[in-house]
Amino acid sequence: MHKTFLVWGALLGALAVAFGAFGAHKLKELVPPETVSTFQTGVTYQFYHVFGLLAIGILYANFPGPLMTWAGRCFLLGILLFSGSLYLLTIFKATETVGMSKFGIITPFGGLFFIAGWICMLLAFIKK
């Protein structure tokens, strides 16, 4: 087992539930519906990759090595960049911060880290 990824998965899972509840109840009062949708996309992808982190933490016992470790790191970076940038864009919209819309350029890099994480996991399975 890889305890670090289990701990991060549990922590980020709890945050995803809290963010999801906030998005479903309070956020609608602060921003337009398309911004709520953007926020929800961040929550959804965070949840997907929390399950990926938990899987890595458990599967590491049978598939140890740097590829599995990199898969977890990529998922963590993906959550930070993809979901984090969507959360920040929502905050900027809610606070009417001008000139920060270009911050969204970070989001696709988070998506690339998600893809890289799944590929690393696949390679770890194939290698064994």
pTM of the model: 0.92
pLDDT for 97: 72
Whether the predicted pLDDT of 98 surpasses 80: no
Average pLDDT for 96-107:
77
Average pLDDT for 40-56:
97
Alpha carbon separation from 62 to 4, 16, 125 (Å, rounded): 16, 28, 9
Whether the predicted pLDDT of 94 surpasses 90: no
| Residues ≥6 apart with Cβ < 8 Å to 91 | 97
At 2-30, the pLDDT tens digits run 899 999 999 999 999 999 999 988 998 88
- 98 phi-psi bin (left φ>0, alpha ψ -120 to 50, beta other): beta
Measured distance CA(123)–CA(68) in Å, rounded = 8
Helix axes 3-25, 66-78, angle to 10 degrees: 20
